[in-house]
Each structure stands twice: as C-alpha cells, then as structure tokens.
Amino acid sequence: MSQHAYKRLSVNSAQGRLYILWAFILLVFLIFPYFTESGSTGIFGCKFHQLTGLSCPTCGMSRSLYELTQFNLLGSLKMHLFGPIIYLIATFLFFKLFLEIISGRSLTIGMSSRFIKISIISLGIAWVVYWLVRMAMEIILA
C-alpha cells in the first residue's frame, strides 16, 4: 500500500452526487452575472430594502458580480465590497469540486480545518460589520 492513501470518490455514491450538485450550484452562481443586465438587482428584488429603505447584507451583490465579470474591479468593489471575494472563493471551490469529480479523489488544500473555520468566521464577522457600517452611512446621509 502506498504512503498516500487517497479516498476514492464514486459519482454514483451519495457523496459523489452531492459533489455534482454543489458543483452545479457553484457553476450557476459563477455564470449568473453574465446573464444579468447592468444595474439589475437579480431575480427577486430586495424585500428588506423595499420594507426598510436600507441595504440588506447582500444588497449590491448581483451588480458587484456583474461589474466583476466586465473586468471592472473598482466598480465591483463600489457595489459590494465582498462581491469579488465571494466570486473568487466560489471559483476556487468549483474547480476543486470539478477536479475531485473528474479524478475520483478527494483533494486537500493544505490548510488545517481550524484555519478554515477561523477564516469563515472572520469573513462572516467582517461582512456583518461592513453591512452595519453601510446601513449607518445610509441613515446618516438620508
């Protein structure tokens, strides 16, 4: 037996089908901005904004992703600070899942699970702080 034992991934297994589902969801997320128009707020519109007049945590995300796919990084950041970050993470995860499905092996990314958990928590906290600051600025400037 080799020193590096890889866990085989069968696309016919429940885990394999779950990987395919997640890869499909990520692919839809990644190509969605290419099918929106500039200034579009997405499919549903923002109910939080309609009720309160304030931005929700994801207000501007569709427009940010659209601007990013048009190679307008500054415009993307102006629409939503986390748009490019989320798009980059989704792209990475899509390709990781795609390679795992094709190769039939789980790939490691060389980061401890503790580091990944801290990164996710930090991103969530930063997102909430960004949203609260954004809402405060809207109230002040209103």
pLDDT in tens, 119-139: 999 999 999 999 999 999 988
132: domain range?
14-141
Could you tell me if residue 80 is left (phi over 0), alpha (psi between -120 and 50 degrees) or otherwise beta? beta
Sign of the CA dihedral with 86 first, then 87, 92, and 96 last: positive
131 part of a folded domain: yes
Q: Find out whether 30 and 91 touch, Cβ atoms under 8 Å.
A: yes
Segment 13-42 shows an average pLDDT of: 79
Residue 111 lies in a domain: yes
Tokens standing for residue 60: 């501007």
Query: What is the average per-residue pLDDT within 66-92?
Result: 93
Residue 23: inside a domain: yes
Q: What is the number of structural domains in the chain?
A: 1
Higher pLDDT, 108 or 69: 69
pLDDT category of residue 4 using cuts at 50, 70 and 90: very low
- Assigned token pair, 47: 């109910």
Cβ atoms within 10 Å, residue 78: 14
Give the angle subtended at the CA of 117 by the CAs of 100 and 92, to the nearest 5°.
Answer: 35
Whether residue 9 is contained in a domain is answered as no
Selection from 68, 75, 74, 77 nearest residue 34 by Cα: 68
Q: What is the DSSP letter of 105?
A: B
pLDDT, position 84: 95
Q: Is residue 2 part of a domain?
A: no
CA distance 93 to 28: 13
The yes-or-no verdict on residue 26 having pLDDT over 80 is yes
Using CA atoms of 120, 122, 123, 127 in order, give the dihedral in degrees to the nearest 10. 140
Rounded percentage of the chain residues whose pLDDT exceeds 70: 85
pLDDT at 23 over 80: yes
Residue 3 lies in a domain: no
Question: DSSP secondary-structure letter at 8?
Answer: B
